[in-house]
Amino acid sequence: MTPPLVLIEWEDATLRDLGTWVDNEPIKYEAKMFVQVGFLLSDTDEGVIITSAWSPEKIAPRDQIPAGMIRRKVFLKGAKA
Q: Per-residue pLDDT tens for 48-63?
A: 999 999 999 999 999 9
Say if residue 81's pLDDT is above 60. no
| Domains in the chain with CATH codes | 1-12+33-75 (2.30.30)
Beta carbons of 21 and 55 less than 8 angstroms apart: no
pLDDT at residue 79 in the model: 57
pLDDT for position 38: 97
Q: In whole angstroms, how large is the CA radius of gyration of the chain?
A: 17
Q: Are strands 32-43 and 47-51 parallel, antiparallel or unpaired?
A: antiparallel
pTM for the complete prediction?
0.85
Task: Please list the residues that pair with 9 across neighbouring strands.
Answer: 35, 72
